[in-house]
Amino acid sequence: MKKYNLIIVTLFLFVTASCDNQSRKQNTSAKIDEMNIGFVRLDSLTKLYDYHGVLVKEIEAKAKKMEAELIRSQQNIQTEYEVLQQAAPNLSKIELERAQLDFQRIQQQYQALEQQRTGELQQEELEMNTFVKSQVDQAIDKMKDDLDLDIVLIYESNLLYAKENMDLTVELASYLNELEIPDQEK
């Protein structure tokens, strides 16, 4: 008899736990259905955000100027080298060593200039990315309040699939394009 009671109690507990688990699943799915979720495609957003295009063009123009400056410096180094080669047969050993040291100094100055310009360009890009991120954060704050969003995801990095009606990229770009453009450039 004790075995039957134990079996009945166990079955009762199992059925109760099963029902409780079923109601939890229903509550969880109801909560998920109530959430307002969207995603943003960053690659598309950068194309739709007008000011981002302006900033990129500015950086590209600076990069072209830097590249032209470096090309001129390389040409100067090449000219110095050719002059050194032509004069080498007529120079004494001491004069040749001095000329070679001067040439090495010029090469080192070029390398330092190249590193400096590369660092400046990287700094410009970092400042641009920081600014754009702050603009995106502002736009998302406004959009999430207006649309009562619970979650906004980035499609490319942490989302495998979502329905297209959850894509907020165009709307976020609209919010970004409405933001005030700063008067002073960095």
Q: Look up residue 5 and give its two tokens.
A: 């009671």
Distance CA 70, CA 80 (A): 15
Task: Tell me the pLDDT of the chain averaged across its residues.
Answer: 82
pLDDT tens-digit readout, 120-158 = 999 999 999 999 999 999 999 999 999 998 988 888 877
Q: Read off the pLDDT of residues 7-53 as tens digits, 9 standing for 90 and up.
A: 554 544 444 555 554 544 444 344 456 788 888 988 888 899 999 99
Residue by residue, DSSP assigns 78-96 as HHHHHHHHHHGGGS-HHHH
